[in-house]
């Protein structure tokens, strides 16, 4: 309690003598009051009579256990009614401007988590909000694979139709899988299998009917596969929006895979020149150059490759036109595979196959016209 004990509490103090304490306390207060009153007037003397509490007491424990301001923030609001302001208070209240809209970098962030869920924006939407382009080109490695597959088509076209089928089937399989993944639909085993099956049927029909009947075999197979895609989507139990999206992806994937059969229906010399031009154009497009300059260099390189390879075949200088047109179609397919923040899987499927698949109609039509 205090370093100086009160008077009357000696060594022979009997703790059980409770009845004598009130009387003794009154006498002590009467005797000590004048001296204490004088001592309290002195600040230094007042400290001597002030009780110095040491150790843990109930009061200190209560003060330590009081909640902080952050803990009180979680308490439910009390039924506090603010006083109603007068008319002058409303008249003198400052007029605050509405809050400014958030900046573009703040608007693209994810919102706080909640039980109801928040809408998540895609990487492409984030790129557009931040002012960046959602276009990511495949790069040199997919371009190298495209060039390798194009060279296989160019070489096997001179060997024969059955040799050309081997790299063509690989091209059609990668096209079917890459298109579904480019549209964000994965896994889509039924749609990929249906599109690839249509390409195989077109190959078999063309080999059976011959190159002269190539358009009939390709268009006939494409018409049948559109009907099969419709029937498959009608049997689906998904919601209407999902069925429409799946139908469009299935039809487009089947069309691209079947149209790639045009390499098998085209003149062998045209396939050799066109595939070589696509290989050179895609490699040139992957060079670290500005977009416009890269496109111009690609077309010029494709035209030069067309002249060089055309001189080895029966096309001659006409190969420049075929090479440039085939390269232009290939660059369109390359651009499609680069759209909307594609993933690495898209780059190594659609980025590899779409340039060659898109060049197939040009190779067939110009090959027939120039031959």
Which range has the worst mean pLDDT, 129-138, 307-316, 332-341?
A: 129-138
For residue 29, the model assigns a pLDDT of 52
Residue 244 lies in a domain: yes
Residue 107 lies in a domain: no
Residue 42 lies in a domain: no
- Percent of the chain residues topping a pLDDT of 90: 44
Residue 93 lies in a domain: no
For residue 73, the model assigns a pLDDT of 47
Instruction: Note the pLDDT tens digit of each residue in 294-332.
Output: 999 999 999 999 999 998 988 888 999 999 999 999 999
- 87 band by pLDDT with thresholds 50, 70 and 90: very low
Specify the higher pLDDT residue, 11 or 209.
Answer: 209
For residue 8, the model assigns a pLDDT of 44
Q: Is the pLDDT of residue 81 over 70?
A: no
32 token code pair: 């000590």
Contact 305, 323 (CB under 8 A): yes
Residue 271 lies in a domain: yes
For residue 182, the model assigns a pLDDT of 86
Residue 103 lies in a domain: no
Q: Is the pLDDT of residue 269 over 60?
A: yes
Instruction: Note the pLDDT tens digit of each residue in 220-252.
Output: 999 999 999 888 888 877 787 788 888 898 999
**Distance, CA of 327 to CA of 75 (rounded, Å):** 69
φ/ψ of residue 15, rounded to 5: -65, -15
Q: Is the pLDDT of residue 137 over 90?
A: no
Number of domains in the chain: 1
Which range has the worst mean pLDDT, 86-90, 124-128, 195-199?
A: 86-90
**Sign of the dihedral through C-alpha 144, 146, 152, 157:** negative
CA angle 154, 155, 159 (to 5 degrees): 120
Domain range enclosing 315: 141-370
**Distance, CA of 263 to CA of 277 (rounded, Å):** 14
- List the end-to-end C-alpha distance of the chain, in Å, as a whole number: 116
For residue 371, the model assigns a pLDDT of 75
Residue 88 lies in a domain: no
Q: Decide: residue 4, CB within 10 A, 0-12 exposed, 13-18 middle, 19+ buried.
A: exposed
- 208 band by pLDDT with thresholds 50, 70 and 90: very high
Instruction: Note the pLDDT tens digit of each residue in 33-76.
Output: 444 444 445 555 444 544 454 544 444 444 444 555 444 444 45
Residue 33 lies in a domain: no
**Distance, CA of 213 to CA of 197 (rounded, Å):** 20
For residue 330, the model assigns a pLDDT of 96
């Amino acid at each position: 309690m205090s370093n100086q004990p009160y008077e009357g509490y000696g060594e022979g103090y009997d703790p059980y003598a409770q009845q004598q304490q009130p009387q003794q306390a009154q006498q002590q207060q009467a005797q000590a009051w004048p001296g204490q009153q004088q001592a309290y007037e002195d600040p230094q003397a007042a400290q001597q009579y002030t009780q110095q509490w040491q150790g843990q007491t109930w009061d200190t424990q209560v003060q330590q256990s009081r909640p902080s301001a952050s803990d009180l923030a979680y308490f439910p609001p009390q039924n506090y009614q603010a006083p109603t302001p007068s008319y002058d208070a409303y008249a003198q209240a400052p007029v605050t401007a509405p809050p400014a809209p958030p900046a573009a970098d703040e608007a693209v962030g994810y919102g706080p988590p909640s039980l109801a869920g928040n809408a998540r924006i895609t990487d492409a939407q984030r790129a557009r909000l931040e002012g960046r382009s959602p276009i990511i080109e495949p790069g040199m490695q997919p371009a190298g694979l495209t060039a390798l597959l194009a060279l296989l088509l160019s070489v096997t076209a001179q060997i024969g139709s059955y040799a050309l089928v081997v790299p063509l089937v690989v091209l059609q399989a990668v096209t079917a899988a890459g298109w579904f993944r480019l549209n964000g639909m994965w896994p889509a085993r039924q749609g990929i299998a249906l599109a690839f099956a249509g390409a195989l049927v077109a190959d078999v029909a063309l080999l059976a009917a011959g190159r002269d009947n190539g358009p009939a075999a390709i268009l006939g197979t494409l018409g049948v596969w559109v009907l099969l895609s419709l029937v498959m989507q009608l049997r689906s139990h998904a919601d209407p929006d999902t069925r429409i999206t799946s139908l469009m992806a299935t039809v487009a994937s089947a069309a691209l895979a079947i149209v790639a059969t045009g390499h098998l229906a085209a003149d062998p010399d045209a396939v050799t020149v066109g595939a070589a031009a696509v290989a050179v154009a895609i490699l040139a497009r992957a060079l670290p150059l500005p977009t416009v300059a890269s496109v111009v260099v690609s077309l010029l390189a494709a035209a030069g490759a067309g002249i060089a390879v055309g001189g080895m075949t029966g096309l001659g200088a006409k190969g420049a036109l075929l090479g440039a047109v085939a390269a232009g179609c290939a660059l369109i397919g390359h651009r499609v595979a680069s759209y909307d923040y594609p993933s690495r899987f898209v780059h190594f499927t659609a980025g590899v196959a779409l340039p060659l698949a898109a060049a197939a109609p040009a190779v067939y039509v110009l090959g027939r016209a120039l031959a």
